[in-house]
């Protein structure tokens, strides 16, 4: 196979039936609703034992791991492969939380490598929709320390120290490794994160399972992973603008733009040494690349544009709202 075989790729969603999940993911993706409580849909994944499988074109049935082995730099980008090896660096998810999720923190690359031989986890949330009273937790609202944190866990007062945000559709939160956070009940979000499954659970509301047991907490592991710095506002502010890319997040692990389109938009990737992912929040659009490949992206679906692609044109059918994300070129 050669680079001519590469084209915009779609993948079968990995739907996760979870006790705290809701009923929004299947209809959002245009799938027949059922009684399953789907908490997450992993859209593009290279997490071990959770490899995404292509569901369009001549590569249908191949998984992401096979594609990286076959296409390497042409798929992910030369500089991306130099940084991350044969690990696809991003995990794309939809999350539908019917209940409050546990308070968590993720280690940075250095700590995750040392403890788990893994990458750390920096991530972002884009709120697709939210119940009227839905909220998210991000960062500390009061100055804390490792000792204060441990004391609050012991005294069951950790929630009093966290910054709490009522949310609505379109809200964005950037969550660098080390920032405590949690998704509240009634939140339906898109999540872009580093490929890592390392999570430290800090607090779980003292909930008990059917056997009367509380979930394991990682109090000591989390103590060294937490960033105790306090910021005034943890919400990511941006000004929506139609028909131009609006930057939401720029960090060394990913850049993400919001495209709110009613007219066609051309995107030039000739100088970008990375794949590009589009995640459709609303509507639908036709994406056409410089090789003449054309694909339709609809609400709830994600498309991987290979790094070899030089440019695409995006034509909304009526209107479309997309997240665009890629790996920035590393700078010294």
Coarse DSSP helix, strand, coil percentages of the chain, rounded to the nearest 5 percent: 15, 40, 40
User: Which one, of 19, 15, 17, 21, lies nearest residue 187 by Cα?
Assistant: 21
Cβ contact 116:194 at 8 Å: no
Q: What are the tokens at 73?
A: 């730099």
- Find out whether 68 and 86 touch, Cβ atoms under 8 Å: yes
Of the residues 81, 179, 201, 267, only one is catalytic, namely 201
d(CA 161, CA 137): 10
Give 9's DSSP letter.
B
Give the CA distances from residue 275 to residues 68, 150, 200, 332, in Å, rounded to whole numbers and listed in that order.
Answer: 12, 41, 30, 21
Residue 81 φ/ψ, nearest 5 degrees: -70, -35
Has 201 been annotated as catalytic?
yes
**CB distance 135 to 184 below 8 Å:** yes
Total Cβ atoms within 10 A of residue 205: 14
Give buried/exposed letters for 129-147 (b at 16+ CB in 10 A, else e). Answer: bbbeebbbbbbbeeebeee
Is residue 80 within 8 A of residue 275, CB to CB? The reply is yes
**And the tokens for 247?**
């930057």
Catalytically active residues, by annotation: 201
């Amino acid at each position: 196979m050669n680079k001519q075989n590469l084209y915009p790729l779609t993948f079968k969603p990995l739907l996760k039936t979870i006790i705290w999940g809701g009923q929004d993911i299947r209809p959002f993706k245009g799938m027949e609703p059922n009684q399953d409580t789907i908490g997450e849909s992993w859209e593009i994944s290279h997490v071990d034992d959770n490899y995404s499988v292509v569901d369009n074109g001549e590569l249908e049935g191949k998984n992401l791991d096979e594609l990286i082995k076959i296409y390497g730099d042409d798929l992910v980008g030369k500089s991306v492969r130099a940084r991350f090896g044969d690990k696809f660096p991003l995990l794309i998810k939809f999350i539908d939380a019917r209940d409050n999720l546990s308070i968590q923190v993720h280690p940075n690359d250095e700590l995750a490598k040392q403890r788990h031989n893994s990458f750390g986890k920096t991530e972002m949330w884009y709120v697709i929709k939210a119940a009227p009273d839905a909220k998210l937790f991000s960062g500390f609202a009061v100055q804390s320390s490792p000792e204060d944190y441990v004391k609050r866990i012991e005294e069951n007062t950790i929630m009093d120290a966290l910054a709490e945000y009522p949310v609505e559709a379109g809200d964005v939160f950037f969550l660098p490794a080390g920032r405590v956070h949690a998704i509240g009940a009634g939140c339906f979000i898109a999540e872009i994160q580093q490929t890592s499954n390392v999570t430290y659970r800090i607090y779980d509301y003292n909930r008990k399972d059917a056997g009367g047991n509380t979930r394991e907490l990682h109090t000591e592991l989390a103590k060294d992973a937490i960033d105790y710095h306090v910021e005034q506002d943890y919400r990511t502010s941006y000004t929506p603008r139609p028909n131009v890319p609006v930057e939401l997040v720029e960090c060394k692990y990913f850049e993400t733009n919001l495209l709110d389109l009613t007219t066609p938009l051309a995107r030039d990737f000739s100088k970008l040494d990375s794949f590009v992912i589009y995640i459709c929040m609303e509507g639908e659009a036709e994406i056409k690349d410089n090789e003449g490949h054309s694909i339709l992206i609809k609400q709830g679906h994600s498309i991987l544009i290979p790094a070899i692609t030089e440019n695409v044109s995006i034509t909304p059918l009526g209107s479309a709202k997309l997240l665009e994300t890629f790996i920035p070129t590393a700078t010294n």
